[in-house]
Amino acid sequence: MELSTLVNLYAERFIAIFIRVAVMLSFVPFLGARVVPLTARAGIAVALTLLLLPVVTVRVDNPVKALFEAFLVGAAMGLSMRIILAAIEMAAQWMSIQMGFGMAAVFNPLFGEQLGPLSFFYSILAMSLFFIFDVHFYFIEGIARSFESAAIDYNGLAGSILKLNGLLFPLAFKMAAPVMLVLLLVNIAVGFLSRVLPQANLYFVSVPLHIVVGILILVVSLPLTFLVIVKSFAHVKDAMLLFVR
């Protein structure tokens, strides 16, 4: 079969799938980061599109509606993971402020802004767990199943995003709670000492104490952090099923 015949045969299906995949990748952390070259992102999108092309059924009765739905579904799937990462970043920012790392900042390529060193550490941690637990397969499965739906449930899409957004603060608090609670007790203890020993300059003691205690609690609570992050990925999977039901 000639190349022109293949292009004419699969052009509409290819475009509908490619837009859905490309928009999803632009929202997915790590893969859609600004530091990832545009050619690499486009290559991943084309590869996934060619992978899905033989196995999905694309309805092209209304091309304009198909393109709109492709953009909407891709954005919803990408936002589901971006919300989870935002919770991780928020927890890291809270811990950075409590530990005294608020003045230290590094460039975070995922969001293109300056964030604390703990935020960068938790971003790398989340990225590693994202691929270790094969969360990226959820997105590929979600894209494939999204074409099986007779019609897009817009209320379901909006409800799923709002439900995930409601998990933002609880997830962030679960990850930051051990460090924040222990440092709160340290602050109370330092406050009592300052009342007992008003002549002592406890500022030079409390700052390194916050850092040392915070790092120790952070290391001890890492298994809990792993569990919270992995369970948050399960929420992403549930959202994918709601998107394509």
Q: How does DSSP classify residue 114?
A: E
Report pLDDT for 34: 66
Percent helix / strand / coil, the chain, rounded to 5: 75, 0, 20
Q: Coil, strand, or helix at residue 223?
A: helix
Alpha-carbon Rg for the chain, nearest whole angstrom, is 23
CA-CA distance, 155 to 94, in Å (whole number)?
Answer: 33
Which phi and psi (to 5°) does residue 45 adopt? Answer: -65, -45
On whether the CB atoms of residues 225 and 176 are closer than 8 A, the answer is: no
State the distance between the two ends of the chain, measured CA to CA, in whole angstroms: 36
The candidate with the shortest Cα–Cα distance to 143, out of 27, 243, 43, is 243
CA-CA distance, 130 to 124, in Å (whole number)?
Answer: 10
Which helix (H) or strand (E) covers residue 108, if one does? strand 106-108
Report pLDDT for 87: 84
Question: How many residues does the structure list for the chain?
Answer: 245
pTM for the complete prediction? 0.75
Q: What burial class does residue 26 get, using C-beta atoms within 10 Å of its C-beta: 0-12 exposed, 13-18 middle, 19+ buried?
A: middle
The whole-number mean pLDDT for each consecutive block of 10 residues of the chain, a chain of 245 residues, reads: 55 78 77 71 83 75 73 79 82 82 56 65 81 79 73 68 77 87 86 76 75 87 85 74 61
Report pLDDT for 116: 67
Report pLDDT for 154: 66
Report pLDDT for 113: 55
Report pLDDT for 55: 77
Report pLDDT for 211: 82
